[in-house]
Amino acid sequence: MNSNLPLPKYHQIYLVLREQLIDGAYRDGLPGDFSLMHQFGVARITVRKALSQLVDEGLIIREPGKGTRAVVQERLNHKHTALHSELKQAKLSGLLENLVSMGLNTQVEVLSVQMLNPPEDVREGLQISSHQFVQKAVRVRSTEDGPLSYITTWVPAEIAKNFGKRELQRKPILLLLEEAGVKVARAEQAITAKLADSVVAKHLDVQVGSALLAVRRLIYDQNDRPLQWLNGLYRPDRYEYQMQLSRVGSIKAKVWVSKELSARFH
């Protein structure tokens, strides 16, 4: 746990588990108390206090002799739908070029590549049916200073059939998409913050519960067909997202509009 955070350990655990539940994890049941104790390195009373908060919030149910299970509520599924509907379209002037530049100037480790049926929110974002498969790839990008990002991408199988683990190890995925015969035209993106779970913390060399910059991005081709769904988790000490804004309109109705988007890493 991160002892530098001004939060009790039980609350840090609560926040991490809450985010995982909202993301659809633990549908078959949460790990037992002792497993969570080992994962977070805390006493059983701390784990129980965190789980008690989740019970109070209605996210889990604890049943003696049956374990702890997630409550798959309509409001949890609605969270993904609401986020997707509120994604802001990003101008591509400089953004995709910058992303490709980052891909070419960092080192990547491909952790896994597999064909599977995606989660519901990804399926809706990519506008594919329940029987269609996608390529899910998990990668870690690093600079000379160490790990930078933990990236998960989903690409429709008919597009991703042209590249696999070896190609993802060598080239940025946006270049691979265009080599596959599609033309990237625009992107929708949402930026928020998340806490590192035990898996991500290990790969990014941070403590469990550390704050990370979370990016969700949906890429479209020139025919407005979704090409790629991306979830990225970035170390905020090594990555920053910059936007230049300009004031336009009349004196009475001036608004801020984005002039350029960029992502800088170090």
Q: For 37-53, write each residue's pLDDT tens digit.
A: 998 899 999 999 999 88
- Token pair of 182 as six digits: 């599609």
Residue-range domains of the chain with CATH: 9-72 (1.10.10.10), 81-265 (3.40.1410.10)
Inform me whether the pLDDT recorded for 137 exceeds 90: yes
**Residues 69-118 pLDDT 10s:** 776 544 455 544 443 443 333 333 344 445 555 555 678 999 999 999 99
Region 26-35: mean pLDDT is 83
pLDDT at 45: 93
**Residues 200-220 pLDDT 10s:** 999 999 998 899 999 899 999
**How far is 239 from 237, CA to CA, in rounded Å?**
6
CB 175: neighbour CB atoms within 10 A? 16
List helix spans (H) across the chain: 9-22, 33-40, 44-56, 74-85, 95-104, 120-126, 157-160, 165-170, 173-179, 198-204
- In this prediction, residue 253 has a pLDDT band, given cuts at 50, 70 and 90, of low
- Token pair of 187 as six digits: 């992107």
Tell me the Cα Rg of the chain.
20
Q: Residues with Cβ < 8 Å from 28, sequence gap 6 or more?
A: none
Q: How many CA atoms lie within 13 A of 141 on its CB side?
A: 26
Are the CB atoms for 159 and 182 separated by under 8 Å?
yes
Percent of the chain clearing pLDDT 70 (strictly above): 73
Q: What is the mean pLDDT of the chain?
A: 79
pTM over 0.75: no
Q: Which one-letter DSSP state was computed for residue 5?
A: S
- In this prediction, residue 245 has a pLDDT band, given cuts at 50, 70 and 90, of low
List 166's β-bridge partners, or say none. none
